Chain A
Amino acid sequence: MAVICPADGGKPGHSLIPEKAFIMSGYGINSEMETQEALLRAGMASDIVHINDLIAGRQRLSDYRLLVFPGGFSYGDDTGAGNAYANRVRNNLWDDLLEFLDGDNLVLGICNGFQILANLGLVPAFDKNYSRDIALMPNRGGRLECRFVTIRPVAESIWTHGISKLRCPVSHGEGNLSCSPETLQHIKKHRQIAFTYCREDLSPAGGEYPFNPNGSVEDIAGITSTDGKVLGMMPHPERAMEFTNLYDWPLVREQQRRSGERIPEESLNMAIFHNIVGYFA
């Protein structure tokens, strides 16, 4: 598949791990290119594959070690965000997916991808029981909002290793995580909360808008499967890979100019992609 963004993988000393990522596309998924770019910058090559080509057997999941459901608006969020795409996966790719989940592989879903994972039951997936246990409901504000949020890791996992915070955009109409009290207890007990929304000083958002942008229970921004190999998150680290993508970079740059600090190129959000590469490397 042609990619318009020139790959940055050609930097001196930049080497790629042999494991490859499979990035799902089609039907209105739209963040496949920046997701590919983020992985490439971290050191992992990937193929963007239309779901219909996977269904038709033109590609095989078993050739890959990371499966990504990127952000987007699959089926225009009709019948519930991520629902129609999840139905398409469940109806046509379920066995391949189960086989992939049984291997030593990772699955990442961002925004619409998280909504798809939730509808498929790939998170929280207690005891590998892939039932729908959580829902990403419409935002409390009743509409899509695009803004930068601060999130912090809760449980130590493959994904959150070494991260103290991320600052990246959310852009969704349905990110308001809801589940039964029992499910919530279970998620907490098994340390499956990957990230929560917080204030800039990393104190809890406490449900307060706009720090918690959607009304998510316990400020949850992302959760993992019980075995930790599947992560679903609403915020978009891949949309703020660079220092100049951050909301407050002009102020930070000005402060750093005056203190003589080096101005970074990469943003802190790349940590999550470095962690993926670190897991395989």
Chain B
Amino acid sequence: MASFVHRIEVHYKKDPRLKIRTDRIRSLGFLIDELQLTDVYTIATGSRDFTRDELHGIGARLSNPVVQEFVVDEATTAFFDYAIEVGFLPGVTDNVGTTARQTIEDYLRVTFSEGDAVYSSQLYFVRGHLPPETIRRLGDTLANPLVNRVIIKTRQEYGDRGMDRVVPRVQLHEMRSVGLVDLEIPDEDLVRLGKEGIVDPKTGVRRGPLALDLAQLHAIREYFNGLLRWPTDVEIESLAQTWSEHCKHTIFASAMDDDVPKGLYKTFIQAATNEIRKEKGDSDICVTVFTDNSGAIVFDDEFLVTHKVETHNSPSALDPFGGALTGIVGVNRDTIGFGLGAKPCMNVYGFCVGDPAADIKLFRGKDRKNPVLSPRQILDGVVRGVGVGGNCSGIPTPQGFCYFDNRYAGKPLVFAGTVGVMPKETNGVRLYEKKAEPGDLVVMVGGRVGKDGIHGATFSSEALDPASPVTAVQIGDPITQKKFSDVLVKEARDLGLYRSITDNGAGGLSCSVAEMAKESNGCRVDLDKVPLKYPGMAPWEIWISESQERMTLAVPPEKIDELMDLLKRREVEATVIGEFTGTGRCIVECQGIVAMDVELAFLHDGLPKKILKTTPVNVDNPEPDLPYPARLDDLVPAMLGRKNICSTEFVTIQYDHAVQGGHVLGPVQGKGRVQAQATLTKVVLGSGKGVGLSQALFPTYTEIDPYRMAGACIDTAIRGLVALGISPEEIALLDNFCWCSSDEPERLWQLKRVAQGCYDYAKALGTPFISGKDSMFNDFAGYDAENNRVKISVPPTLLISSIGIHADVLKAVSIDAKISGDLVYVIGETAEELGGSEYFAHLGYTGNTVPKLDAGAAKARYLRLYDAIFHEMVASAFPVSRGGLGVALAKVAIAGRLGMDLTIPSVIRPDYFLFSESLGRFVVTVAPDHKREFERIIGADALLLGKVGGNRLRITGRTLLFELEISKLEAAYKAPFGGF
């Protein structure tokens, strides 16, 4: 128990952030005069107190005397009307507190005992005459009630004594043991068990969703009937984790209708890859596909690169910062856990959220209870989370996007991906292969286990509803992860100290150990050995906890001492918690009894097969009968200012994209700083090659034509890389399906059509899928402010990510127009394809004609453009995408801060020509000297539009359509997120 509690408060004498912080809060509608910030450290120890001198010494080490002051056990003097203190709730990861503890331990040469800790909090001093209700709302804006505690005092209440000393220590008293679960109950009770969880025998409260359906529970009952015993709660929870949609991807694995007996994944995704690899023969670029934590392709003779993109949607809905942070550091572990460990060398992100300007009020509970965070709060949080994760880990984040649609207001989509690099071999060992052997020790490396993230895997398989457990919220600790990442990937791997490795993600130990146990054919784990954050956890909680920053290793007994010594020297906690066996069983022991004893075959393959049925949805929106717009010169800036077209540089600039020294073509390019579709980075210094990344999604197309939508995503992701000068033969794809209501046959039909499209277009373009992930229930069910029940589902969203190897970065091409007099071409045909387009959306229509890709023509065109770039004929290249040619031309001009004088053909009405989103097109600029050679290489596909020059974008059809200053276009492009 903490008998000694001290409080140190640190503040800047003159805070440089004061103005911007105040301005940001005012921009959210809180008309405060000023917001001062003080950092608070609460030191709580049981065994040892600190003297006054020691506390002042500690204060000196937690502050900077040049610009800061601190007080010990007294109130900070400030001029304010309200004081708001925001700290963490018990059990929430407190990285600042941990660093402060380490600083004190190192300074005073003491070791904090179990239960002793430093807790960090922030104290805001608000100046301004606001009603108490507004101050409460401000507190809710500064904090998240799911992870934070907020204490508000008026000036008067603050008085001379200031804020109270709060110790948010986790207190769990009872020692908890393994329980048995009776499955011999009526089906309706089984259904309830699956939906709401096991009843805790002590409290009578359900433990949270298992997400097991009736057929699955019947299969489990039958299995244990065969064993003549009841299952334990550890076994049921473990099966629920392993069989979850999140882990087993049952919707992609199950038979569908009569025509897809092997399921969508095998029939469409895996088959495309297998067939492409076979066709490519010796020029196959794939190394590892689908089987490991990431997919991998060949980089050069020596190295390979890996890629994996995950989603972290449900946690980000509840705590955007923590959810996005754990999302990105979690997918870093899919790199560290690839083969014997690849080095994370790039992060990618994608945020689908509601319009931050929209005033949407949603509640998880009735009577305005448990409000959903606003799109603005979600955006701010997820942007910060991915930034902190990548920046603190020293991983550049060059590539990413924001996409806005109010159908993401109930549940955002947060994509987080990581690219890794590793040598194919070290000391004769193939690093991309791994195998735990019987007798190898199970070693857990990294953070300790707490209650965080319990039921994370099952929770994300269910739609968000009022019963969503708050234990799904976790905050990552990138520095703990950085420490073990460095020692594993840069040291232990090449010393051959372990034989296999995987990360602890969804399902925690229950999934990681059981997954690795497949390699040796068995495992035995002793839960008593697992280091805990705090005592009092039940065995089932320890087994499935998703506490972050942990890896599981298989270590040969003869290497264990060397590994443990190395990890200790790097201050990385590691514990032997069991061994891999060859018994074919997963055995878990706890408190001297067997808590789990299940055959691996049943654990991994006992899941009952399903047949899913689909129902076609025929959408037939009327094509709008639009009058021809009177003025295009208003329309072009308006299109550039649309949320899904304009600059979101405020995000990219917060993300380090130069660390590791490989920046080649970054997220913004040219003098005018325009965001590119694709980025290029060197991941092996000293090599002339680079890795290109791109991404594409078209959620507005899905419901009109899911099949064509798949083509649009695949084409756009590939085309981004081709524009950099990457050969289409050197590109691989990743798929992320984020669906909604996946129990509805109509949604499943859309899914099937998209999967079919993925197969057809990937095959036709010759680009294999190497990794994928799905998230099937992105629905929100709750209430609006008037207590009406509302359901908001995300638009079915496919994200295609692409990765490609650039043969020679010196020949890479950026997006900006460069030199006056250069010729401007559009390559590829423009048709009247405006269904789901930004232009129609701008005018309030949907339309019916989604762009259709002619994959054969596109492939030939991409090879020709690659050839032209390789022969240094091209000065800039921009893939035409959302907003069409008009937007693309404007962006190329803005990027170069150069005008253009262009003439467009008159076959299609000019506004449709300019804003149609036809696929397969590029805008390129070419030096006049290269005109003949360029046109010879590209052929009839190249349409010369005019020239670069001046400071205006001037476009003529039959008559002058518009003439606009580049600086005005730039302003329109950058205005929407100017204040972010």
Spell out A's residues near B (CB within 8 Å): 1-8, 25-28, 30-31, 33-34, 37-38, 50, 52-53, 56, 71-73, 75-80, 83-84, 87-88, 91-92, 119, 132-135, 137-147, 169, 171, 176, 178-180, 215, 236, 238-242, 244-245, 247-248, 250-251, 253-255, 257-258, 263
Which residues of B have CB within 8 Å of A50?
Answer: 569-570
Q: Given contacts A145-B654, A254-B819, is CB(A239)–CB(B661) below 8 Å?
A: yes
Pairwise interchain contact B686-A6, C-beta atoms closer than 8 A: yes
Interchain CA distance A171-B483 in the complex, whole Å:
21
B653-A146 in contact (CB<8A): yes
How far does the alpha carbon of A215 sit from the alpha carbon of B669 in the complex, in Å?
A: 24
Q: Which of B12, B493, B658 contacts A137 (CB 8 A)?
A: B12
**Docked CA distance A4–B671 (Å):** 34
Does B17 contact A245, Cβ atoms closer than 8 Å? Answer: no
A106 CB to nearest B CB, Å: 21
Chain B residues numbered 679-701 whose CB sits less than 8 Å from any CB in chain A: 682, 684-687
Closest to A6 in B: B686
Q: Are A5 and B684 in contact (CB under 8 A)?
A: yes
Provide the residues of chain A in CB contact with B491, threshold 8 Å.
1-2
Report Cα–Cα, A242/B653, bound state, in Å.
21
The answer to the question of B100 belonging to the interface, with a C-beta cut-off of 8 Å to chain A, is yes
Distance in angstroms between the alpha carbons of A64 and B659 in the assembled complex: 26
Asked, given contacts A87-B106, A178-B67, whether A79 binds B659 with beta carbons under 8 Å apart, the answer is no
List, in ascending order, chain A residues with CB within 8 A of B814's CB: 250-251
Check if A140 sits within 8 Å of B818, measured CB to CB.
Answer: no
How many cross-chain pairs have Cβ atoms below 8 Å apart between A and B? 223
Q: How far is the CA of A4 from the CA of B335 in the complex (A)?
A: 15
Instruction: Assess A257 versus B872: contact at CB under 8 Å? Given A56-B569, A76-B392, A244-B809.
Output: yes
Measured CA separation A76–B96 after assembly (Å): 8
- The answer to whether A240 touches B661, judged by C-beta atoms less than 8 angstroms apart, is yes
Nearest CB of chain A from residue B106's CB, rounded to whole Å = 5
Residue of B nearest to A263 (CB): B810
- Residues from chain B with Cβ under 8 Å of A215 in the complex: 16
- Say yes or no for B195: interface residue by CB 8 A criterion: no
Question: What are the residues of chain A within 8 A of B392 when measuring CB–CB?
Answer: 28, 73, 76-77
Question: Per a CB cutoff under 8 Å, which of A73, A91, A137, A258 touches B394?
Answer: A73
Q: With a CB–CB cut-off of 8 A, which chain A residues contact B64?
A: 80, 83, 119, 132, 135
The complex places the Cα of A143 from the Cα of B68 at a distance, in Å, of: 18
Cα–Cα distance between A142 and B17 once the two chains are bound (Å):
5
Greatest chain A CB density within 10 A among B21, B67, B662, B684 is at B67
A-B contact list, 9 entries, CB within 8 Å: A28-B478, A31-B661, A37-B661, A79-B99, A87-B107, A133-B66, A147-B653, A250-B816, A251-B818
* Bound Cα distance A255, B818 (Å): 9
Additional pairs, 10, CB under 8 Å, beyond known A31-B661, A245-B664: A4-B343, A25-B486, A26-B486, A26-B570, A28-B392, A76-B95, A83-B62, A84-B103, A239-B663, A250-B665
- Please indicate the chain B residues that have their CB under 8 angstroms from the CB of A138 in the complex: 15-17
Contacts of B148 in A (CB 8 A): none
Interface: B183 (CB within 8 A): no
Q: Is there contact, CB below 8 Å, between B819 and A239?
A: no
Q: Please give, as numbers and ranges, the residues of chain A lying within 8 Å of B570 by CB-CB distance.
A: 26, 50, 52
A163 nearest CB across to chain B (Å): 19
Query: Taking the complex as formed, is B194 at the interface, i.e. its CB lies under 8 A from any CB of chain A?
Result: no
Q: Which residues of B contact A38 (CB under 8 A)?
A: 661
Q: Is B61 an interface residue (CB 8 A)?
A: yes
**A169 and B819 in contact, given A30-B393, A75-B479, A139-B16 (Cβ under 8 angstroms):** no
User: Is B479 in contact with A171, judged by CB distance below 8 angstroms?
Assistant: no
- Residues of A within 8 Å of B99, CB to CB, are 75-76, 78-79, 84
**CB atoms of A239 and B658 under 8 A apart:** yes
The 8 Å CB contact of B387, one of A4, A31, A52, A144, is A144
Closest-by-CB residue of B relative to A25 is B486
Say yes or no: A178-B66 contact (C-beta < 8 A), given A76-B478, A87-B107, A146-B658. Answer: yes
Contact check: which of B100, B102, B685, B929 meets A34 at CB < 8 Å? B685
- B660: nearest chain-A partner, CB-CB: A34
| Complex interface: chain B residues within 8 A of A141 (CB) | 20
State in angstroms the CA–CA spacing of A141 and B669 once bound together. Answer: 22
Verify if B115 is at the interface (C-beta below 8 Å from A).
no
Evaluate whether A137 and B686 lie within 8 angstroms (CB atoms) in the complex, with A37-B661, A56-B569, A250-B812 already known.
Answer: no
Asked whether A137 lies within 8 Å of B103 as measured between CB atoms, the reply is no
Do the beta carbons of A134 and B685 come within 8 Å of each other?
Answer: no
Q: Which among B21, B486, B660, B818 is the interface contact of A254 at CB below 8 angstroms?
A: B818
In the bound complex, CA of A78 to CA of B387 (Å): 15
Q: A6 contacts B16, CB within 8 Å?
A: no
Q: Nearest B residue to A81 by beta-carbon distance?
A: B64
Chain B residue, CB-CB nearest to A34: B661
CA–CA, A241 to B664, complex, Å? 11
Residues of B within 8 A of A251 (CB): 670-671, 814, 816, 818
Whole-angstrom distance between the alpha carbons of A2 and B431 in the complex? 14
Residue B363 at the chain A interface, CB threshold 8 Å: no
CB pair B479 A28 closer than 8 Å: yes
Contact with A along B90-114 (1 / 0, CB 8 A): 0000011011101100110000000
Q: How far, in whole Å, are A119 and B422 apart by their CA atoms in the complex?
A: 36
CA A127 to CA B343, docked complex, whole Å: 44
Let me know if B391 is at the binding interface, CB within 8 A: yes
Q: Does B968 lie at the interface of the complex (its beta carbon under 8 Å from any beta carbon of A)?
A: no
Cα of A66 to Cα of B479 in the assembled complex, Å: 27
Do A239 and B16 form a contact, CB below 8 Å, given A76-B479, A146-B654? no
Closest to B481 in A: A28
| Chain B 120-143 residues near chain A, CB threshold 8 A | 120
In angstroms, Cα B659 to Cα A72, docked, is 9
Nearest to B670 among chain A residues (CB) is A251
B639 at the interface (CB under 8 A from A): no
Contact of B819 among A52, A75, A255 (CB under 8 A): A255
Check if B810 sits within 8 Å of A2, measured CB to CB: no
| CA distance in complex: A21, B658 (Å) | 23
A241 to B654, CA, bound (A): 22
Least Cβ distance of B929 to chain A in Å?
8
Q: Which residues of A have CB within 8 Å of B658?
A: 146, 169, 171, 236, 239-240, 245
Chain A residue at minimal CB-CB distance from B665: A250
Contact with A along B4-42 (1 / 0, CB 8 A): 000000001001110111001000000000000001000
Q: Tell me which residues across on chain B come within 8 A of A6, comparing CB atoms.
A: 302, 684-687
Q: Give min CB distance, A82 to chain B, whole Å.
A: 10
List residues of chain B with CB within 8 A of the CB of A258.
819, 927, 929
Q: Which residue of B lies closest to A71 (CB)?
A: B659
Are A1 and B62 within 8 A (Cβ)? no
Q: A169-B663, A176-B16 are in contact. Are A88 and B819 (CB under 8 A)?
A: no
Most chain B CB inside 10 Å of its own CB: which residue of A79, A241, A263: A79
Q: Which partner residue on chain A sits nearest B571 by CB separation?
A: A52
How far in angstroms is the closest Cβ of chain B from A216?
A: 10
Contact check, B100 vs A78: say whether CB atoms are below 8 A apart.
yes
Q: Which residues of B contact A25 (CB under 8 A)?
A: 486
Bound CA span A5–B490, Å: 11
Contact of B103 among A8, A87, A139 (CB under 8 A): A87
Q: Is B653 a contact of A31 with CB atoms below 8 Å?
A: no
Whether B490 pairs with A80 at a CB distance below 8 angstroms is no
CB <8 Å contact, B875 and A31:
no
CB-based contact A78/B96 at 8 Å: yes
Q: 6 closest A-B pairs (Cβ-Cβ)?
A: A30-B394, A34-B661, A78-B99, A250-B814, A169-B658, A135-B66
The residue from A30, A132, A254 contacting B659, defined by CB atoms under 8 A apart: A30
Which residues of B are found within 8 Å of A73, using beta-carbon distances?
391-394, 478-479, 482
Tell me if B655 is interfacial: C-beta within 8 Å of chain A. yes
Chain B residues with CB under 8 Å of A240's CB are 658, 661, 663
- The residue from B387, B426, B685, B876 contacting A5, defined by CB atoms under 8 A apart: B685
B478 (CB) vs chain A CBs: closest residue: A76
- CB A161 to nearest CB in B, in angstroms, measures 23
Complex interface bits, B58-73 against A, C-beta within 8 A gives 1, otherwise 0: 0001111111100000
Instruction: Determine the distance from Cα of A247 to Cα of B664 in the docked complex, in whole angstroms.
Output: 8
A146 touches B655 (CB 8 A): yes
**Alpha-carbon distance between A140 and B16 when the two chains are bound, in angstroms:** 5
